[in-house]
């Protein structure tokens, strides 16, 4: 939708008044009306690094979801304030693993006699509590752009990985990039006693996948891939690794949002692409590359926005920037000190990956 000119002017004025005191980060899934005010855009990994590289900014306004703002708070100094323009912008995947459930899982692994061999690897899309659990137990964080390197590191430290909370990213990375088989992976279901697994199954597994998923990427199916190949002969299918394994296996290319953008930048004129990720990003890319003769379509026939990413809209951004410009600190995201210390350990292990 086109931005309201009055709101655009108000956002611009508030941002100008704040000057270098504010730094606005925008995830690639954000709306166009918000992205136009981002000082930097990126995937989860790039934004975590960029947030940490702005020590002079008093306010980091994070246009993204809650776990991203938490990570930014963990990686920035204590006097920097991270602000999320709508506190209801969570992530349903991150909510699928709670601290209590993960502690219980660790008890199950201990009981089965495997905990000592297990290194936890948690996807960035998790709460600060889960990141702290990960750091405490010798593990690290990964994003969709470094999951293979994170798993390589983890398998140097131990024989098994507990992968939280996205089963698809875990399975896709293990099978596609690490040469494991589907049989090397088991799924731990936090809603079943003992995760629904026997001690025998836990002992045999290399990858213990938490039963979480992204509901946005979960909408893409093998049918969506077959369908688009029929509709558009010669199409390149490019999907995010949060998609189901069968979708990833049928795709031509797989990668993070930043990877998707780079792939399309490098694509030749006249090439055709079907993209399996969130719709704000796909629409923006379709519009951007149409003049260069690149045809870009959404992988599915139904629309598929991330509803929580979409909560950050121009009115929320204007309210946030105007409040900060008037000296009112609103919607601060602050992780408590103890959680922060262990979560930081896990994040720094990721940032130190080769």
Binding positions for iminosuccinate? 27, 44, 123-125, 144, 240-242, 257
Q: Which residues are annotated as a binding site?
A: 27, 44, 91, 123-125, 144, 214, 240-242, 257, 306
Asked whether the beta carbons of 145 and 258 are under 8 A apart, the reply is yes
Which segment (6-14, 90-98, 279-287, 341-349) binds ligand SF4 by CB under 6 A?
Answer: 90-98
Min dist CB 215 to ligand 13P, Å, is 11
Name the binder of 151 from ligand 13P, ligand SF4, none, CB < 5-8 A by kind: none
Min dist CB 305 to ligand SF4, Å, is 9
Q: Give the interface size with ligand SF4 as a residue count (CB under 6 A).
A: 12
Q: How far apart are the first and last CA of the chain?
A: 41
Asked if residue 65 binds ligand SF4 (CB under 6 A), the reply is yes
What is the 3-class SS of the chain, one letter each residue?
CCCCHHHHHHHHHHHHHHHHHEEEEEECCCCHHHHCCCCEEECHHHHHHHHHCCCCCCEEEEECCHHHHHHHHHHCCCCCEEECCCCCCCCCCHHHCCHHHHHHHHHHHHHCCCHHHEEEEEECCCCHHHHHHHHHCCCEEECCCCHHHHHHHHHHHCCEEEEECEHHHHHHHHHHHCCCCHHHEEEECCCCHHHHCCHHHHHHCCEEEECECCCCHHHCCHHHHHHHHHHCCCCEEEECCCCCHHHHHHCCEECCHHHHHHHHHHCCCCCEEEEECCHHHHHHHHHHHHHHCCEEEECCCCCCCCCCHHHCCHHHHHHHHHHHHCCCCCCECCCCHHHHHHHHHHHHHHHCCC
Min dist CB 325 to ligand SF4, Å, is 28
Which segment (73-81, 88-96, 136-144, 196-204) binds ligand SF4 by CB under 6 A?
Answer: 88-96
Asked if residue 47 binds ligand SF4 (CB under 6 A), the reply is no
Closer to ligand SF4 by Cβ: residue 83 or 94 = 94
Asked if residue 124 binds ligand SF4 (CB under 6 A), the reply is no
Asked if residue 275 binds ligand SF4 (CB under 6 A), the reply is no
Asked if residue 30 binds ligand SF4 (CB under 6 A), the reply is no
Name the binder of 92 from ligand SF4, ligand 13P, none, CB < 5-8 A by kind: ligand SF4
x/- site string to ligand SF4, residues 293 to 332, per CB under 6 A? -------------x-xx-----------------------
Selected binder of ligand SF4 within 71, 76, 125, 126 (CB under 6 A): 125
Closer to ligand 13P by Cβ: residue 196 or 218 = 218
Closer to ligand 13P by Cβ: residue 147 or 187 = 147
Closer to ligand 13P by Cβ: residue 209 or 324 = 209
Q: Which residues are annotated as a binding site for [4Fe-4S] cluster?
A: 91, 214, 306
Q: In whole angstroms, how far apart are CA 303 and each of 261, 273, 279, 299?
A: 20, 17, 7, 10
- Residues in the site for ligand 13P, rule: CB under 6 A? 28, 43-45, 125, 143-144, 214, 240, 242, 256-257
Min dist CB 286 to ligand 13P, Å, is 18
Closer to ligand SF4 by Cβ: residue 92 or 117 = 92
Contacts of 208 (CB under 8 A, 6+ apart): 109, 118, 160, 161, 162, 163, 185, 186, 188, 197, 202
Name the binder of 221 from ligand SF4, ligand 13P, none, CB < 5-8 A by kind: none
Asked if residue 93 binds ligand SF4 (CB under 6 A), the reply is yes
How far apart CA 106 and CA 49 sit, in angstroms, is: 30
Contact residues: ligand SF4, CB under 6 A: 65, 91-93, 125, 214-216, 278, 306, 308-309
């Amino acid at each position: 939708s086109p931005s309201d000119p009055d709101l655009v002017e108000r956002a611009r004025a508030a941002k100008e008044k704040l000057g270098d005191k504010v730094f606005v980060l925008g995830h690639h899934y954000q709306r166009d009306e918000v992205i136009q005010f981002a000082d930097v855009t990126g995937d989860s990994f790039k934004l975590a690094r960029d947030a940490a590289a702005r020590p002079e900014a008093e306010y980091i306004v994070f246009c993204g979801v809650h776990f991203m703002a938490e990570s930014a708070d963990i990686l920035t100094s204590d006097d920097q304030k991270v602000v999320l323009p709508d506190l209801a912008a969570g992530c349903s995947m991150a909510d699928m693993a709670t601290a209590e459930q993960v502690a219980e899982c660790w008890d199950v692994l201990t009981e089965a006699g495997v905990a000592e061999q297990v290194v936890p690897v948690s996807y960035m899309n998790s709460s600060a509590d889960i990141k702290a659990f990960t750091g405490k137990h010798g593990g690290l964080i990964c994003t969709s752009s470094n999951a293979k390197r994170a798993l390589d590191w983890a398998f140097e430290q131990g024989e098994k990985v507990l992968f939280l909370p996205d089963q698809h990213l875990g399975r896709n990375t293990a099978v596609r990039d690490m040469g494991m088989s589907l049989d090397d992976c088991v799924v731990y279901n936090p809603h079943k006693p003992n995760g629904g697994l026997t001690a025998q199954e836990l002992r045999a597994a290399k990858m213990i996948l938490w039963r979480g998923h992204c509901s946005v990427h979960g909408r893409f199916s093998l049918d969506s891939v077959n369908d688009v190949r029929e509709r558009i002969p010669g199409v390149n299918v490019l999907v995010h690794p949060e998609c189901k394994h069968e979708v990833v296996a049928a795709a031509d290319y797989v990668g993070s949002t930043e990877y998707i953008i780079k792939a399309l930048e490098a694509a030749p004129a006249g090439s055709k692409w079907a993209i399996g990720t969130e719709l704000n990003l796909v629409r923006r890319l379709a519009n951007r590359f149409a003049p260069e003769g690149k045809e870009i379509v959404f992988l599915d026939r139904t629309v598929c926005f991330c509803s929580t990413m979409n909560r950050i809209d121009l009115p929320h951004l204007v309210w946030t920037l105007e409040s900060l410009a008037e000296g009112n600190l609103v919607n601060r995201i602050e992780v408590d000190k103890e959680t922060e210390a262990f979560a930081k350990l896990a994040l720094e292990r990721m940032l130190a990956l080769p």
